[in-house]
């Protein structure tokens, strides 16, 4: 039985690594970070067998050269982490973004994916039409991120919430903020460790994918415009793809089914478009 993502030890950046990275970037600039990222990726690629097997399975399904494609995926992820860090410091050039719909930054609930680098969208919070963002992360990532921002005194107009702790009070707060024109980001493609039974299944790349219901239900309860969003790299620019969900049904159960199908179609579309930026390094396909 393959392990779920939350059963594997997280190999992301902890507080000490973030601080060291911050000083390396401050003293030496961007390229030393990318060189370090290459060797870190090489090490992880060799040692992280569970992730590599999941990656290889993914590229077999896509009928691509397995070893080369898998390493390219890992390397892209390493460079995406560098871009993410630069966005933390506020130094990511706005000219690196292509955004066709600035009006979406107005009371919108964004259902994100692990395709591309959605986290760097915090750079766009300086957009004239953008208000405060509310981001849901796993509690450990949430804690590290908040501590890092506080320690480095980086000013970012966003609030970070642990996704495991959503309750009635959280729902009220988020609903009020959406009505005030703020925006929300929540991933829709990873099953929560606390809700492994609250899932739905859909055809995906000729297989079956299992996804969480919680994000979709929460988005519908908020009664705000829902967009699916991907921020992926094309050359030296990040291109933002956002698609609005519009329900045709009237019954809540049918609307939820429409939302499930629409999200999976969006996920599949951009997984195919950006196969080397699909950063779900876990066995999610049956």
Confidence at 71, pLDDT banded by 50, 70, 90: very high
Confidence at 29, pLDDT banded by 50, 70, 90: confident
Please, which residues have CB within 8 angstroms of residue 216's CB and are 6 or more apart in sequence? Answer: 111, 188, 256, 259, 260, 263
Can you give the pLDDT at residue 86?
Answer: 78
pLDDT of 2 > 60? The answer is no
Q: Is 138 a member of any domain? A: yes
Q: Is 242 a member of any domain? A: yes
More confident residue, 30 or 94: 30
The angle subtended at Cα 54 by Cα 278 and Cα 275, nearest 5°, is 25
Question: What is the domain count for the chain?
Answer: 1
In 3-state terms, what secondary structure has residue 116? strand
- Domain of residue 192: give its range: 5-277
Q: Is 284 a member of any domain? A: no
Q: Is 56 a member of any domain? A: yes
Mean pLDDT over residues 10-37, rounded?
A: 70
Q: What percent of the chain has pLDDT over 70?
A: 74
Other CB atoms closer than 10 Å to residue 222's CB: what's the count?
A: 19
pLDDT of 195 > 50? The answer is yes
Mean pLDDT over residues 223-249, rounded?
A: 90
Q: Is 124 a member of any domain? A: yes
Q: Is 221 a member of any domain? A: yes
Please, which residues have CB within 8 angstroms of residue 90's CB and are 6 or more apart in sequence? Answer: 123, 154, 155, 156
Q: Is 44 a member of any domain? A: yes
Q: Pick from 189, 177, 183: which is nearest to 112 by CA?
A: 189
More confident residue, 265 or 37: 265
pTM: 0.85
**Can you read off the two tokens belonging to residue 151?**
């320690």
79-82 long-range contacts (CB < 8 A, ≥24 apart) are 79/34, 79/37, 80/116, 80/117, 80/233, 80/277, 80/279, 81/12, 81/13, 81/37, 82/30, 82/33, 82/34, 82/37
What average pLDDT does the structure give for the chain? 80
| pLDDT tens per residue, range 107-117 | 899 999 999 98
Residue pair 97/41 in contact (Cβ under 8 Å)? The answer is: no
Confidence at 3, pLDDT banded by 50, 70, 90: very low
The whole-angstrom separation of Cα 124 and Cα 42 is: 31
Strands (DSSP E) along 188-278, which ranges? 199-204, 207-212, 226-234, 237-244
Confidence at 9, pLDDT banded by 50, 70, 90: very low
pLDDT of 149 > 90? The answer is no
pLDDT of 5 > 50? The answer is no
pLDDT of 157 > 80? The answer is no
Residue pair 134/184 in contact (Cβ under 8 Å)? The answer is: yes
pLDDT of 100 > 60? The answer is no
In 3-state terms, what secondary structure has residue 10? coil
Of the ranges 1-15, 162-176, 261-275, which is most confident? 261-275
Mean pLDDT over residues 264-277, rounded?
A: 95
Q: Is 67 a member of any domain? A: yes
CA dihedral 136→198→104→172, nearest 10 degrees, is -60
**Can you read off the two tokens belonging to residue 246?**
């519009």
């Amino acid at each position: 039985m393959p392990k779920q993502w939350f059963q594997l030890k997280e190999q992301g950046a902890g507080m000490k690594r973030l601080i060291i990275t911050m000083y390396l970037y401050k003293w030496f600039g961007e390229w030393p970070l990318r060189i370090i990222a290459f060797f870190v990726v090489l090490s992880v690629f060799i040692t992280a067998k569970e992730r590599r097997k999941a990656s290889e399975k993914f590229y077999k399904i896509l009928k691509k050269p397995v070893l080369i494609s898998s390493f390219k995926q890992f390397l892209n992820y390493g460079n995406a982490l560098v871009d993410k860090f630069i966005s933390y410091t506020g130094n990511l050039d706005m000219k690196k973004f292509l955004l066709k719909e600035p009006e979406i930054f107005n009371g919108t609930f964004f259902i994100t994916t692990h395709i591309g680098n959605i986290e760097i969208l915090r750079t766009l919070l300086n957009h004239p039409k953008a208000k405060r963002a509310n981001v849901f992360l796993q509690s450990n990532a949430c804690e590290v991120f908040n501590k890092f921002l506080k320690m480095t005194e980086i000013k970012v107009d966003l609030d970070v919430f642990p996704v495991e702790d959503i309750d009635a009070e959280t729902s009220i707060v988020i609903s009020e903020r959406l009505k005030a024109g703020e925006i929300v980001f929540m991933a829709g493609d990873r099953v929560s460790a606390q809700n492994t039974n609250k899932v739905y299944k859909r055809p995906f790349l000729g297989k079956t994918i299992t996804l969480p219901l919680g994000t979709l239900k929460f988005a519908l309860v908020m009664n705000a415009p829902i967009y699916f969003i991907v921020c992926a790299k094309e050359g030296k620019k990040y291109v933002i793809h956002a698609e609005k969900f519009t329900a045709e049904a009237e019954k809540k159960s049918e609307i939820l089914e429409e939302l499930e199908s629409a999200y999976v179609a969006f996920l599949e579309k951009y997984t195919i478009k950006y196969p080397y930026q699909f950063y779900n390094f876990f066995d999610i396909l049956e």
